[in-house]
């Protein structure tokens, strides 16, 4: 299947009429329209986050003007090859040949522009989210913004629930293993537009899957807005590897919320890579609700040219004997700024919890700044919870040592930065992703 929008309808700013028009353009059932309108009512009721809110205390939204952004939706379509659609994407994970993936979905400002999948095991559902609403309504109604990220989670999440445009749905039934990755590429092409994308993944008992989200756009003069919500459901003894790579243009205001719910003996291994955008606010959480659940949460970010990255993470332990292991590493240069705040929260009954949280920051010049705030909230008395945070500059002695051996300064700095990120990269058992990260780091350093 190949679809590319040729006639685009532009909708006004964020209003209830826009919600109705967006739903009508997709021929959605009444229940989805009502869900959208209910969410928009919540959005209008909730105040804009401000410096008095702890999570937003170091985040400045004064330059964000939501009324300036438009929404686009496709009215007609024409055939176009996948190579042509992806031709403008640069510095992104390769989508690979058909035998290297289980499926691929390409999203744009106005909806889904490409979707295909290999022959899948019986019961596996992989489709764009609009198709899922019409063909698998019971599953969507059960999981879509009801448990992991409900519409009342916050103002931006409510706006997302009201105006989501496109996304991907993956359902893996009990006992089924799908080894090759499912890949979603979001390509923002409009200027001054907004893009609301949603990833919904449900992995049933004793099932396994691998899912990749990649977001990319060229840099434009006018600001754009992007909103991503990722909901991951791992039932008992399920396994999921999730990778997200964000490389938006430097004109993008980006808001991303990711929540995973883990059942008994479930295993989540996630990686978040943040490279692009003008402004990024990421909220990433794992809810370990079943005994012996495991959540490995890795993150890499590299900011330059006055980019602002704000990461908030949650490791929420609700049952005993569960393990969470978080490691986020970031580098900054050229006046970039980062904020990291992480919380390990252990409920009263979650005895024998083993939780680790680490945030390391490398500042490459005197104009950049990193803030790191790790937190513990423990209500059980038989746990092992540790956290650590560092902010440091590149040691000139290390650079001098390499230069003394004939290595140019830029290459020496690149080697130091690569060495800083290497412990996280080595924990990713996917060669393609490792190679991509090495190239992205070299590009950021300027080598």
- Quickly count: other Cβ atoms within 10 Å of residue 304's Cβ: 20
Q: What phi and psi values does residue 103 have, to the nearest 5 degrees?
A: -175, 160
Q: What confidence score (pLDDT) does residue 233 get?
A: 98
pLDDT in tens, 203-245: 999 999 999 999 998 888 889 999 999 999 999 999 999 999 9
By the 8 A CB rule, do 219 and 246 touch? no
Q: What confidence score (pLDDT) does residue 316 get?
A: 97
State the average pLDDT for the chain: 88
pLDDT in tens, 280-323: 999 999 999 999 999 999 999 999 999 999 999 999 999 999 99
pLDDT exceeds 70 at position 49? yes
Residue ranges with strand state E in 364-429: 369-378, 384-393
Q: Which of 274, 207, 215 is nearest to 241 (CA)?
A: 207
Q: What confidence score (pLDDT) does residue 358 get?
A: 95
Q: What confidence score (pLDDT) does residue 96 get?
A: 58
pLDDT exceeds 70 at position 78? no
Lowest mean pLDDT segment, chosen from 18-22, 77-81, 102-106, 424-428: 77-81
Pairing of strands 166-172, 125-128: antiparallel
Q: What confidence score (pLDDT) does residue 2 get?
A: 47
Q: What confidence score (pLDDT) does residue 81 get?
A: 55
Q: What confidence score (pLDDT) does residue 265 get?
A: 98
pLDDT exceeds 50 at position 4? no
By the 8 A CB rule, do 390 and 370 touch? no
pLDDT exceeds 80 at position 421? yes
- What CA–CA distance (Å, rounded) separates 247 from 301? 10
Q: To 5 degrees, how large is the angle CA 247–CA 248–CA 253? A: 135
Q: What confidence score (pLDDT) does residue 400 get?
A: 80
Global confidence as pTM: 0.93
Q: What confidence score (pLDDT) does residue 129 get?
A: 94
Cα-Cα-Cα-Cα dihedral sign, residues 355, 436, 114, 224: positive
Q: What confidence score (pLDDT) does residue 439 get?
A: 86
pLDDT exceeds 70 at position 12? no
The separation between the first and the last C-alpha atoms of the chain, rounded to the nearest angstrom, is 40
Q: Over pLDDT 70: what percentage of the chain? A: 91
Binned at pLDDT 50, 70 and 90, residue 142 comes out as: very high
By the 8 A CB rule, do 203 and 209 touch? yes
Q: For the chain, what are the domain ranges?
A: 4-445
pLDDT in tens, 404-417: 888 887 788 788 88
pLDDT exceeds 90 at position 152? yes
Question: Looking at beta carbons, which pairs linking 45-51 to residues 24 or more positions away fall under 8 Å?
Answer: 46/152, 46/154, 46/155, 46/158, 47/155, 48/155, 49/154, 49/155
Residues 252-275 as b/e (b if ≥16 CB within 10 A, e otherwise) read bbbbbbbbbbbbbbbbbbbbbbbb
Mean pLDDT within 152-176: 96
pLDDT exceeds 80 at position 398? no
Distance of CA 364 to the CA centre of its chain: 25
Mean pLDDT within 191-199: 89
- What CA–CA distance (Å, rounded) separates 294 from 289? 10
- The residue ranking higher by pLDDT, 8 or 189, is 189
Question: Which stretch of DSSP H or E encloses residue 269?
Answer: strand 267-274
Q: Could you tell me the two tokens for 136?
A: 């698998």
Binned at pLDDT 50, 70 and 90, residue 91 comes out as: very low
- Quickly count: other Cβ atoms within 10 Å of residue 150's Cβ: 15
Q: Which of 384, 446, 436 is nearest to 413 (CA)?
A: 446
Q: Could you tell me the two tokens for 88?
A: 């403008």
- What CA–CA distance (Å, rounded) separates 104 from 117? 6
- What CA–CA distance (Å, rounded) separates 154 from 141? 20
Q: What confidence score (pLDDT) does residue 71 get?
A: 83
Q: Over pLDDT 90: what percentage of the chain? A: 64
Binned at pLDDT 50, 70 and 90, residue 84 comes out as: low
pLDDT exceeds 50 at position 59? yes
Cα-Cα-Cα-Cα dihedral sign, residues 327, 344, 313, 38: positive
């Amino acid at each position: 299947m190949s679809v590319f929008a040729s006639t685009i309808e532009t909708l006004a700013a964020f209003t209830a009429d826009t919600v109705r028009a967006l739903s009508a353009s997709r021929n959605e059932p009444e229940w989805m329209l009502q869900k959208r309108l209910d969410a928009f009512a919540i959005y209008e009721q909730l105040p804009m986050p401000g410096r008095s809110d702890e999570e937003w205390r170091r985040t400045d939204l004064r330059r964000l003007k939501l009324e300036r952004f438009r929404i686009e939706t496709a009215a007609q379509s024409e055939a176009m090859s996948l190579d042509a659609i992806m031709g403008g994407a640069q510095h992104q994970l390769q989508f690979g040949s058909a035998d290297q993936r289980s499926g691929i979905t390409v999203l744009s400002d106005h909806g889904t522009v490409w979707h295909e999948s290999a022959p899948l095991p019986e019961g596996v559902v992989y489709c764009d989210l609009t198709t899922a609403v019409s063909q698998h309504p019971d599953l969507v109604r059960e999981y879509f913004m009801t448990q992991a990220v409900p519409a009342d989670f916050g103002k931006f999440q409510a706006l997302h629930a009201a105006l989501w445009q496109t996304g991907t749905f993956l359902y893996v039934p009990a006992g089924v293993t799908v080894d090759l990755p499912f890949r979603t590429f979001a390509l923002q092409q409009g200027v001054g537009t907004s893009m609301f994308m949603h990833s919904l993944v449900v992995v049933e008992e004793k099932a396994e899957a691998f899912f990749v989200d990649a977001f990319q756009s060229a840099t434009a003069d006018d600001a754009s807005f992007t909103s991503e919500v990722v909901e991951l459901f791992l039932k008992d003894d399920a396994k999921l590897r999730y990778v997200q790579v964000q490389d938006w243009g430097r004109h993008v205001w980006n808001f991303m919320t990711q929540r995973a719910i883990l059942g008994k003996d479930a295993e989540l291994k996630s990686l978040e890579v943040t490279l692009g955008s003008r402004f990024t606010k990421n909220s990433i959480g794992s809810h370990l609700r079943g005994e012996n659940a495991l959540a490995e949460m890795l993150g890499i970010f590299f900011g330059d040219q006055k980019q602002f990255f704000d990461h908030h993470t949650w490791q929420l332990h609700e049952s005993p004997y569960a393990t969470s292991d978080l490691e986020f590493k970031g580098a900054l240069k050229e006046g970039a700024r980062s904020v990291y705040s992480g919380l390990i929260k252990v409920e009263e009954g979650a005895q024998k919890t083993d939780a680790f949280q680490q945030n390391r920051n490398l500042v490459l010049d005197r104009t950049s700044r990193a803030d790191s705030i790790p937190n513990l909230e423990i209500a059980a008395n038989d746990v092992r919870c540790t956290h650590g945070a560092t902010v440091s500059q590149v040691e000139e002695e290390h650079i001098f040592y390499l230069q003394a051996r004939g290595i140019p300064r830029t290459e020496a700095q690149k080697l130091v930065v690569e060495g800083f990120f290497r412990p996280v990269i080595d924990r990713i058992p996917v060669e393609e992703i490792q190679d991509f990260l090495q190239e992205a780091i070299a590009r950021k350093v300027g080598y």
